[in-house]
Structure 1
Amino acid sequence: MVEIVLLSVLLICLITDIYSRRILNVVTIPAILFGLIYFTAQSGLEGLWFSFSGFILGLILLLIPFMLGGMGAGDVKLMAAIGALMGSTFVLYAFFFTAVIGGCISGIILLRRMGIKQMATHMFITFAVFRGNAKEMHATTEGKSKFSFPYGIAIVSGTLLAYIWGGF
């Protein structure tokens, strides 16, 4: 039952993120509530803790990138919903795969738009000058980055990979 809800949420969020660049609260909030209620009904306080700890971990994992302007609130709530539905161990695996896939997609987009020489220069400046200080880096950009993509693609792909991989 939970897997059906998860797959439905992932499919809906993938479609809405691709077409409107939004992940809707009307999808993520009920999924979070479903996870909390379902696991509480199944296993009492132990089930509530399973779902709630997954929800909190999913929320925390993407909160910093959100606060730095790297993604939308819908992405954060989708990862929290995944945690509420599948627990903390699963959401950690999903986050790892999501980060790898998101990094690969970003690299491909940058490479296509900038070319290898300009991308290497950009990466050198980013790491050498700013030394990873994302707040300063973010402050130097105006508005939204021109190198963005619907991160729901990475979240859905990473979650599906974690689900298929199993073993958690």
Structure 2
Amino acid sequence: MEQSIFTELLLLTLILLIVATTMVDLLQHRIPNLLCICVLGLGITMQSYSAGWEGAITAASGSVTGLLLFLPLYLFKGMGAGDVKMLASLGALFGPFNTLIAAAFALVIGGLLAMIFLLLRLFLFLDWGKAVHVLKSFLTSIRLLAYTRQYFPPEHDISELASMRFPYALAIAGGALIVMAQQSLLSFIHLKALLINELGINIGGAL
């Protein structure tokens, strides 16, 4: 993607929108449609500005790719509709291939964060001794499965904890930022040059 001061300003705005979306999801457990629409519009604008109609087609195909990648997870109650829309809106910026990479990173990050959130909830909702006992129960089930090839359910059921909603926007944002870094979109070369130039002029004028 061709970079200029204009596209870098749009990208900076888009990153702020991603941060806002993640914060709303963390605090309110939802992803507003307006934020997704703004991200989608910025992605389409950047692609169209850089490559004309080909960029617009890339943006559209990337958005559809993002929708199709996470739609099955939504249908099987693996994530919310807002998470699907968030990846679809980011797909407009990345295009099909990079949207696939962003989704893969998001799934990996999401898996790690889900384990961390589950452990935190386990120790927050249960006292320390009971939480340790629950973990031992699940580890015993895993060991029995490895040795006997048979599944023995753990003594404790934490389905209520596991079913609590996980703010997946955090994982999607992480995947998106990794792809941006891989594409060198976070360098902001023109904005840095403009800032250095302005600072140099101001310092020179003061002297």
CA distance in 1, matches of 2:71, 2:137: 30
**In 2, are the aligned partners of 1:51 and 1:84 still within 8 Å (CA)?**
yes
Please tell me whether residue 154 in structure 1 is matched to residue 175 in structure 2: no
Structure 2 counterparts to residues 1-168 of structure 1, below 5 A: 1=7, 2-112=10-120, 113=122, 115-120=134-139, 121=141, 145-166=162-183
How many percent identity over aligned positions? 32
CA distance in 2, matches of 1:61, 1:162: 16
Structure 2 gap segments, 5+ residues each: 1-6, 123-130, 152-158, 185-207
Letter in 2 for 1:15: M
Indicate the structure (1 or 2) with the bigger Cα radius of gyration.
2
The verdict on how the C-alpha distance between 1:11 and 1:69 changes in structure 2, with shifts beyond 3 A counting, is same
Deviation at 1:41, TM superposition (A): 4.7
**In 1, are the aligned partners of 2:65 and 2:88 still within 8 Å (CA)?**
yes
CA distance in 2, matches of 1:105, 1:18: 13
Deviation at 1:146, TM superposition (A): 2.9
The verdict on how the C-alpha distance between 1:161 and 1:100 changes in structure 2, with shifts beyond 3 A counting, is same
Letter in 2 for 1:49: I
The verdict on how the C-alpha distance between 1:108 and 1:53 changes in structure 2, with shifts beyond 3 A counting, is same
Deviation at 1:71, TM superposition (A): 1.1
CA distance in 2, matches of 1:119, 1:153: 27
Structure with higher RCO (Cα < 8 A, 6+ apart): 1
Deviation at 1:40, TM superposition (A): 3.2
Deviation at 1:4, TM superposition (A): 1.8
**In 1, are the aligned partners of 2:47 and 2:59 still within 8 Å (CA)?**
yes
Secondary structure of the 2:27 match is helix
Structure 1 ranges of 4+ moved more than 3 A: 109-112, 114-122
CA distance in 2, matches of 1:30, 1:161: 21
**In 1, are the aligned partners of 2:14 and 2:42 still within 8 Å (CA)?**
no
Structure 1 gap segments, 5+ residues each: 130-140
Deviation at 1:154, TM superposition (A): 0.8
CA RMSD of aligned residues (A): 3.0
Residue-pair matches, total: 154
